[in-house]
Amino acid sequence: MAAADELAFHEFEEASSLLAETPDAATTSGRGQLAPQGHVAVEVDSGGIYGSEEAEESDKTALLQEEKQQPGFWTFSYYQSFFDVDTSQVLDRIRGSLLPRPGHNFVRHHLRNRPDLYGPFWICATLAFVLAITGNLTLVLAQRRDPSIHYSPQFHKVTVAGVTIYCYVWLVPLALWGFLRWRKGVRERMGPYTFLETVCIYGYSLFVFIPTVVLWLIPVPWLQWLFGVMALVLSAASLVFTLWPVVREDTRLVAAVLLSTVVLLHALLAVGCKGPRSSFISSSRCLWSTWHRRPRPRLCLQTSCCHPRRGLRPLRAAEPTGKGLLLPFLPVSRSPRAAPRSLSLSGPT
């Protein structure tokens, strides 16, 4: 009895404090979301996909959103509003991005129109460091198999991986958001997502790559490709299911092109993450040494580093294998495709 009383008291206090903060809430009509049960709001907003479970949450979200005074961007509290999440909310959003379902819009259901920057920022930072660390570990494991490989902790990988991932999570959503706003006129029902919501979608969709990159340490090639494909499917699916309600009202061509571009860019990122693991042993050291020590290409002649599996073999810089073809997409090895190879073939000049 006492417990029930406490609960009742608590709710009342919360509601009254909400009303105190937003004194005009009762009188604002807004988007009509203050109807007693909120069913009207659900239908108008999301095309009637969702059930009445959304009703209560949409009420509360509307109350909190309508009257929140946006402080200027030069104040600290402006940025604090982007970090207004709890641990349970962040975990819930991560879970939502890991398990995409067709009717389940990530933005409406998990973000509930309150995007945060915590998730995208720290997921990208974690992914960048995990990429660098597992790249390093791959080299360690390779060296155990073949002691002639020279081990060095490639610290520059952290910088490269970090820059690539952060650019991806900021520039691609910017382009997508700009494009969706430009096409806004075509859509009647669903407004475009805000920029932060788009960043959130992309940021949280990258979470699935973190365990995948760790699992890529297992040196079984078909297993690596399996994990890669699974991760790509999961994260691309979460992107597509989130973007589909916004894009489906557009013309078919635009929708198809947009979605396929999104998936393609995501696939490029996945391949870029995967690339160094498969082609590292055969090419990256030789390319690095030939690119950075062009006057002295004899480095490649010195040891059997170039082809550890084949023993001593003169002069060829990189194998034109299928895996070597991934080199153009590698964010890590900064060498162009043709020139260094010919230099090392010709030897000292």
Partner 1 sequence: MAKAAESPGDPGTTTPRPLFAGLSDISISQDIPVEGEITIPMRSQIREFDSSTLNESVQNTIMRDLKAVGKKFMHVLYPRKSNTLLRDWDLWGPLILCVTLALMLQSSVDSEKDGGPQFAEVFVIVWFGAVTITLNSKLLGGNISFFQSLCVLGYCILPLTVAMLVCRLVLLAEPGPVNFMVRLFVVIVMFAWSIVASTAFLADSQPPNRKALAIYPIFLFYFVISWMILTFTPQ
Instruction: Tell me how far apart the alpha carbons of residues 157 and 77 are, in angstroms, rounded to a whole number.
Output: 35
Please report, as residue ranges, which positions from 13 to 72 form the binding site for partner 1 (by CB under 8 A): none
In whole angstroms, how close is the CB of 2 to partner 1 at the nearest point?
16
Among 9, 14, 56, 79, interactor with partner 1 by CB under 8 A: 79
Q: Does 156 bind partner 1 (CB under 8 A)?
A: yes
Q: Is 87 in the site for partner 1 (CB under 8 A)?
A: yes
Shortest distance (Å) from residue 209 CB to partner 1 = 16
Report which residue type is found at 233: V
Enter the tokens of residue 325.
């073809």
Does the footprint of partner 1 cover residue 86 (CB under 8 A)? yes
Q: Are 92 and 202 in contact (CB under 8 A)?
A: no
DSSP labels, 99-160: S--TT--HIIIIITT---SHHHHHHHHHHHHHHHHHHHHHHHHHHHH-TTSPP---THHHHH
Compute the least distance from the CB of residue 229 to partner 1, in Å. Answer: 28
Sequence-distant (6+) residues with CB within 8 A of 265 are 168, 172
**For 322, phi and psi rounded to 5 degrees?**
-65, -35
Instruction: Output the smallest distance, CB 348 to partner 1, in A.
Output: 19
Three-class SS of residue 9? Answer: helix
Q: Is 184 in the site for partner 1 (CB under 8 A)?
A: no
Residues 345 and 142: their CA atoms lie apart, in Å, by 25
Beta carbon nearer to partner 1, 90 or 267: 90
Q: How far is the CB of 157 from partner 1 (least distance, A)?
A: 8
The position carrying tokens 């499917």 is: 233
User: Taking CB under 8 A as the rule, does residue 88 contact partner 1?
Assistant: yes
Cβ partners under 8 Å of residue 263, min gap 6: 236, 239, 240
**Residue with smaller CB distance to partner 1, 6 or 84:** 84
Task: List the interface residues with partner 1, window 109-138 (CB under 8 A).
Answer: 118, 122, 125-126, 129, 133, 136
152 binds partner 1 (CB under 8 A): yes
Q: Of the listed pieces 11-19, 25-33, 58-66, 87-95, which binds partner 1 according to CB under 8 A?
A: 87-95
Binding mask 285-314 for partner 1 (x = CB under 8 A): ---xx--x----------------------
For the purposes of burial, counting CB atoms within 10 Å of the CB of 330, is it exposed (0-12), middle (13-18) or buried (19 or more)?
A: buried
Q: Is 195 in the site for partner 1 (CB under 8 A)?
A: no
SS3 10: helix
Under the rule (CB under 8 A), what is the footprint of partner 1? Answer: 76, 79-80, 82-88, 90, 118, 122, 125-126, 129, 133, 136, 151-157, 288-289, 292
